[in-house]
Amino acid sequence: MMPLSSFIKKISVNPAIFYALSSRGWQLFAGPVTLFFIAHFFSANQQGFYYTFTSILLLQIFFEMGLSYVLIQFVSHEFAYLRWTKWGAVSGGFKIKRFKQLVLKSCHWYLVVSLLFILFVMPAGWYFLGLKSTAEVNFSWRLPWALLVLATAINLLLTPLLAIIEGSGKVQDIYRLRFAQTMLGTVISWIVILVGGGLYCAASIAIANALLSMGWLFFKKPLLLRWVYSVTAFKINAQHSLFCWWTEVWPMQWRIAISWMSGYFINQIFVPILFLYQSPVVAGQMGMSLAISVMIIFTGQAWLSAKAPFMGRLIAEKNWPSLDKMFFRLVWQSSVMVLLCALGMVLVVCIGQHYVIFQRLLPPSQMALLAASALLSHWINCIAQYLRSHKRDPFMVLSVLGAVLITGAAWYFGKSYSSYGIVASVFCINLCYGLPTAIWFWVKYRRVWQAKMV
């Protein structure tokens, strides 16, 4: 039997992946604790509101339009010629002005996005959640929702700076920060639940994330903050543009935006549908089950995300053999972890299905379908990461058609057959459409793009 140390070495757990996995590991530990707290201190209706909060909140995708992901890819290419110096300054000769213009334009974009997010999402949430505000809903949800939206808007303001730092290759630093945010946010949310704070626990997580991000940037990258928010920054932005947003960023961004928007309908529309057509109780079961499934997918994506900047550099250097070798190794390593987590999830649910706490999840047969869909989704995401590292996104059509198919199926089968209809239809669509199409895209575009870039 292979020793644990040899297994860890075999699957290449470097410091960046270690912190990413530590975050997922903490979530795997903290998830059951949170589940227990929600099951014990929340009513079934309150649980439904909690997870519907999360689903509606992800409408931020429609405002952000995938820019954080695009920034990571673009900055990874720019930092082939740049480097960080002390306290967040950047050196690299004539390339610096171009880099600064990219940063400033991104920060201005997110400022507008944050304001629009507050103006549209806050009242939309009040209206939708109010549709189920009956006599059984005897808990506060309006003010917690408002605080959650405001805290999320602050996090959006900080997103471009963190994405730029991650894209520059400082993946370990950002993942360490996220690990701290995950731990602190979870602990604070537990405290809020224990003292009877109810749905305020959701806002407490977003507030903790914002405070930690601001503190980290202030102490680690103060010079970056200084010139981003200084008068000089506006002068640089007004100079002759060395960086054209509409010809360099936008062609990739709008495709990523459509893919991400489609991803909302592919992954998050189920809870609002069940909330509207079934009940907050069923929506809460789906929301909690989806949270576990998504956590498993993100665990596998840690390998690909940690190596994204390095894949971008290999593409810039046209080092195709090293790129493919890295990609296949990462897919194998991450797939092993996703499979183990998925099997573990199904096993635990099967063993504990007679306990009250597990009745807040979907039944075992539906959890098994979710686990299988998680593995399929992971393989699709791996292929998407490979292709998007070329600063292109051919997945737009795939994502749009997938969103139409899944949303239509979720609406019809969710309305008629509740949660089972949704998980079964999603698995069939991923198996028969999503994965085969993704593999075909990978074979086609990998050959064409790399031949053109030689």
Task: Read off the pLDDT of residues 231-265 as tens digits, 9 standing for 90 and up.
Answer: 455 555 555 566 677 777 777 788 778 877 887 88
Q: What's the pLDDT at 135?
A: 60
Name the DSSP class of 87. G
Query: Which amino acid, residue 428?
Result: C
- The number of distinct structural domains making up the chain is 1
Mutual angle of helices 15-41 and 171-194, in 10-degree steps = 10
Q: What's the pLDDT at 425?
A: 94
Indicate the burial class of 224 (C-beta count within 10 angstroms; 0-12, 13-18, 19 or more).
buried
**Helix or strand or coil: residue 115?**
helix
Which range marks the domain in which residue 277 is found?
Answer: 4-452
Please, where are the H alpha helices in 141-199? 142-167, 171-194
Q: In 3D, which of 445, 388, 404 has the Cα closest to residue 77?
A: 388
CA angle in degrees (0–180, nearest 5) for 5-11-12: 90
Partnered with residue 90 across adjacent β-strands are 84
CA angle in degrees (0–180, nearest 5) for 157-65-388: 115
Distance (Å, rounded) from C-alpha 62 to C-alpha 75? 23
Q: What's the pLDDT at 210?
A: 94
Phi-psi region of 393 (alpha: psi -120 to 50; beta: other; left: phi over 0): beta
CB-based contacts of 45: which residues, under 8 Å, 6+ apart?
132, 136, 137, 279, 280, 281, 284
Q: What's the pLDDT at 376?
A: 93
CB-based contacts of 284: which residues, under 8 Å, 6+ apart?
44, 45, 47, 48, 49, 50, 51, 360
**Helix or strand or coil: residue 445?**
helix
CB-based contacts of 233: which residues, under 8 Å, 6+ apart?
100, 104, 227
Partnered with residue 84 across adjacent β-strands are 90
Helix (H) or strand (E) holding 333: helix 320-352
Q: What's the pLDDT at 131?
A: 85
Name the DSSP class of 81. S
User: Mean pLDDT in runs of 10 for the chain (454 residues)?
Assistant: 49 62 74 82 88 88 84 79 77 74 86 93 91 75 94 93 86 87 92 92 93 92 79 53 72 79 84 90 89 84 77 80 87 91 89 79 91 92 84 76 91 92 93 92 82 64
Name the DSSP class of 139. S
Distance (Å, rounded) from C-alpha 43 to C-alpha 233? 50
Strands 83-84, 90-91: pairing is antiparallel
Q: What's the pLDDT at 230?
A: 66
C-alpha pair distances (Å), 288 with each of 103, 231, 318: 37, 46, 43
- The tokens describing 139, both together, are 């808990």
Q: What's the pLDDT at 152?
A: 94
Distance (Å, rounded) from C-alpha 98 to C-alpha 400? 33
C-alpha pair distances (Å), 50 with each of 81, 140, 172: 46, 11, 31
